[in-house]
């Protein structure tokens, strides 16, 4: 997947990326977050900028709420 490092990545992009990891690898939301963070940010929050990082965290929180609400 090619990432334009000059632009800000959206919450929807990160949410879809983590969902893809979860579904294709059968992983938990937390593990998907860790893999996405490693792959996209190289374990450094400033790699893609603060806006993209905040969108990443927002996507994770939203996905986490959805996953846990579907369990109940």
pTM of the model as a whole: 0.88
Query: Which pLDDT belongs to residue 3?
Result: 64
Say if residue 1's pLDDT is above 90: no
Structure tokens that stand for 71 in this block: 């369990």
- The DSSP code sequence of 16-66 is HHHHHHHHHHT--HHHHHHHHHHHHHTT-TTTT-HHHHHHHHHHHHHHHHH
Q: By residue range, what is the domain housing residue 52?
A: 11-71
CB 47 within 8 A of CB 41: yes
User: Has residue 17 been placed in a domain?
Assistant: yes
Query: Which pLDDT belongs to residue 69?
Result: 87
Query: Which pLDDT belongs to residue 67?
Result: 85
Q: Which tens digits make up the pLDDT trace of 25-65?
A: 999 999 999 999 999 999 999 999 999 999 999 999 999 99
User: Has residue 35 been placed in a domain?
Assistant: yes
User: Has residue 5 been placed in a domain?
Assistant: no
Structural domains of the chain, count: 1
């Amino acid at each position: 997947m090619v990432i334009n490092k000059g632009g800000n990545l959206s919450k929807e992009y990160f949410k879809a990326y983590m969902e893809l990891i979860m579904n294709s690898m059968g992983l938990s939301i937390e593990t998907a977050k860790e893999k996405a963070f490693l792959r996209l940010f190289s374990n450094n929050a400033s790699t893609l900028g603060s806006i993209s990082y905040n969108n990443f965290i927002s996507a994770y929180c939203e996905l986490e709420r959805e996953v846990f609400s579907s369990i109940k």
